[in-house]
Structure 1
Amino acid sequence: MTTANINVRVDANLKKEAESLFSDLGLNMSSAITMFLKSAINHDGIPFDVRRARPNAETREALAEYAEMKAHPEKYKRYRSFAELVEDVAHET
């Protein structure tokens, strides 16, 4: 079987962590990547779910608040500058 090289640039820490994991599994990077490629071919696609990360509850709440503010800007105080906001906050305490 003829082999070919694949050059991939990844974060150095990611590479180090993956090498450690694969070593614990008795694999090297080349064997692990070969396994991934064979699995992708067998699945006729990526062999695991690929989807956008779901925001956590705090982020969902912030996004809902932003949508509300955007839909009803008249309900919320607006500032002409950051300095004006800081002054207003300073006077509230």
Structure 2
Amino acid sequence: MALATLTSRVDEMDKAAFDDFCSSVGLTASAAINMYVKVVVRDRKLPFEVRQVDPFYSATNQAHLLKAIHQLEEGKGSAHALLEDDE
């Protein structure tokens, strides 16, 4: 079986932590990445759930916030008392 090179850029500190983890379980980083690739190919999916952690940072919400900021800067906002949650 011929081998191919897979190159990826990762944060320096993440790479060091990954190398440390791999070493602690008796693997090289290359072996761990090969295991990951094999699982993805075998199962035809990522071996973990990919989801947006915080919807605050979604493109939709960021656009809403920018619009609100511009409205405030144009003097279109109004002040009101903070509403308390009764729970």
TM-score w.r.t. the length of structure 1 is 0.59
Kindly, what percent of the aligned residue pairs are identical? 31
The residue number in structure 1 matching 2:71 is none
Query: Could you tell me how far apart the structure 2 residues matched to 1:7 and 1:42 are?
Result: 21
Q: How does 1:1-93 map to 2 (within 5 A)?
A: 1-54=1-54, 73-74=77-78, 76=79
Q: Deviation at 1:45?
A: 1.4
Runs of 4+ deviating beyond 3 Å: none
**Higher fraction of helix:** 1
Query: Could you tell me how far apart the structure 2 residues matched to 1:24 and 1:6 are?
Result: 23
Unaligned ranges ≥5, structure 2: 56-60, 69-76, 81-87
Query: Could you tell me how far apart the structure 2 residues matched to 1:54 and 1:38 are?
Result: 30
The residue number in structure 2 matching 1:58 is none
Query: Could you tell me how far apart the structure 2 residues matched to 1:32 and 1:43 are?
Result: 17
Query: Could you tell me how far apart the structure 1 residues matched to 2:50 and 2:17 are?
Result: 21
Give the letter aligned to residue 48 of structure 2: F
Q: Deviation at 1:54?
A: 3.5
